[in-house]
Structure 1
Amino acid sequence: MTAVHLLDNIFWHALTGPQAHWAVGSGGARRYAPGFSPIVGFANPQRPDFDALTPHCGPDEHFYCAGWSGPAPAGWVVEAESTMHKMVWAGEAPVQDEAPDVRPMGPEHLDQVLALADLTRPGPFGPRTIELGEYFGLFDGERLMAMAGERSFAETLREVSGVCTHPDFQGRGLARRLMLKLIARQLARGETPFLHVMSDNTGALGLYQRMGFRTHRESVVRVISRA
């Protein structure tokens, strides 16, 4: 299996591979531990092992899962359904540092990180998500304007995630600068950047294509919870 094909079921490969220490689950199901991004991975997305997943999920939790489009089993509810593009980097390495003024994000920035994620909804996010990789922010004084970071990875694939900009600072290219910072660092480590973007987010989809990403595949994505 070449690395790019891991994108077809990337969260399973991440949660049973290099990120297994951040996973809980058994059998054919894994999830990120509570506090991280609420994402589920199944060994076989066409036949998801909900029996293995259920004991590891609370009744008030909501999870994202990709690649599964069958009926919800007893005890589970599909709250939302859409499609997203899995995109992989196909461009050249950035030739200069587009964001030399970034700050690495740490526990001291958590309140601002969570507030920005709650405001802009860049995807499933939790208070421990910034532990999953490098996270960088751009600041106006002490105010967080934009951030981007890393989430899942398996073999040489590394995800760019959590990309968001405060509405007061949009239109300045801040997210692009942050992403190019991460992409350059990933390429220097011999990694291949990839990302997920909702299919109806045509603005972001076009930006990522112009930057150098190409669509690997379009996939169903659902938000699920226990009934």
Structure 2
Amino acid sequence: MAVLDNVFWHALSDTQRHLTLGTGNVRRYSSGLPPLLAFADPRHPHLDELAPFCAPGERFYAADWRGDAPPGWQIELETTMELMVWSGGAVSEEPIEAVRLGADHVEHMVELATLTKPGPFGPRNLELGTYLGCFEQGRLAAMAGERTQAGALREVSAIATHPDFQGRGLARKLVKRIVANQLARGETPFLHVMSSNAGALHLYRQLGFEVYRTCAVRVVAKT
């Protein structure tokens, strides 16, 4: 699957281009969407071309780029993540009281993402796909949704459970429902998880995801 070798670029320059800013070499999601960058060629990121579309101090996640930071940019974090692709066949969903999240739930979603840090997230994430959540005691206990789309490849993202509601399989059940919906649409689910997150890696393997490759990932900021 060659698209998976640079899936963010295929998404931001093609399928989701209407939600992005940038040039033919480098693009970003628009403000309010996840702070992600994508490069036509990660070996030559052309970050200088992105400067007009960014504000000083803005921070972004960038995959696969390993070179030095050009003038005007600073590398704040460097690590790795696993790109995992669905290989589990049909999904056997588990009963769960879940609702489709909408505009009235954005505050709850941002609060949960800020607390649990499931990855790049923005208040406009609902524009990227379907998000499901479980509410208990008036609080968003868990959520999962969709982020990047590159053709028929559909990313599962923002998988998060509030610490007060962990240990009950809520995130697992939500992911199963998201994956089932994607498979029903003829899409191939994939996701990203930090290489250091052994618990999540184990869970996703159990669900039916397999590691496709390990990706370098950086957090960079425009100075």
Q: TM-score, normalised to structure 1's length?
A: 0.96
Letter in 2 for 1:115: E
Point out where structure 1 has 5 or more consecutive residues left out of the alignment.
none
Instruction: Tell me, in whole angstroms, the C-alpha distance in 2 between the residues paired with 1:12 and 1:99.
Output: 36
Q: After superposition, give the CA deviation of every residue in 1:67-115 in whole Å (9 maximum; x if it has no partner).
A: 00111111110000100000000002113x3245210000100111110
Distance of 1:99 and 1:61 partners within structure 2: 41
Count of aligned pairs: 223
Structure 1 counterpart of 2:86, from 75, 84, 89: 89
Match of 2:199?
A: 203
Q: Deviations over 1:102-158 (max 9, x none)?
A: 100001001111100000000011110122000000111432100000000111100
**Deviation, structure 1 residue 7:** 1.6
- Kept in 2, the 8 Å contact 1:101–1:138? The answer is yes
Q: Provide the residue aligned with 2:169 in structure 1.
A: 173
CA contact (8 A) 1:99 1:181 kept: no
* Residue 7 (structure 2) aligns with: 10
What value does the CA root-mean-square deviation take over the aligned residues?
A: 1.0
Equivalent pair of 1:69/1:220 in contact (CA under 8 Å): yes
Aligned to 1:134: 130
Contact 2:76–2:221 under 8 Å retained in 1: yes
Give secondary structure in 2 for the equivalent of 1:149.
strand
Of the three residues 143, 155, 159, the one matched with 2:155 is: 159
**Paired residue for 1:61?**
58
Q: Secondary structure at the match of 2:181?
A: helix
Measure the CA separation in 1 of the matches of 2:43 and 2:215.
12
- 2:37 is matched with which residue: 37, 40, 57? 40
Letter in 2 for 1:23: T
Q: Percent identity?
A: 53
Following TM superposition, by how much is the alpha carbon of 1:6 offset from its aligned partner in structure 2, in angstroms?
1.1
Counterpart position of 1:50: 47
Cα pair 1:39 1:124 within 8 Å, conserved: yes
1:27, 1:52 within 8 Å by CA — same for their partners in 2? no
* Equivalent residue number for residue 123 of structure 1: 119
Structure 1 pair 27–123 and aligned structure 2 pair: CA distance change class (3 A):
same
Question: Is the 1:151–1:158 Cα contact (8 Å) retained in structure 2?
Answer: yes
Aligned residue in 2 for 1:226: 222
Whether the 8 Å contact between 1:99 and 1:178 is mirrored in structure 2 is: no
Unaligned runs of 5+ in 2: none
Residue 23 of structure 1 corresponds to 20
Q: If the length of structure 2 is used for normalisation, what is the TM-score?
A: 0.97
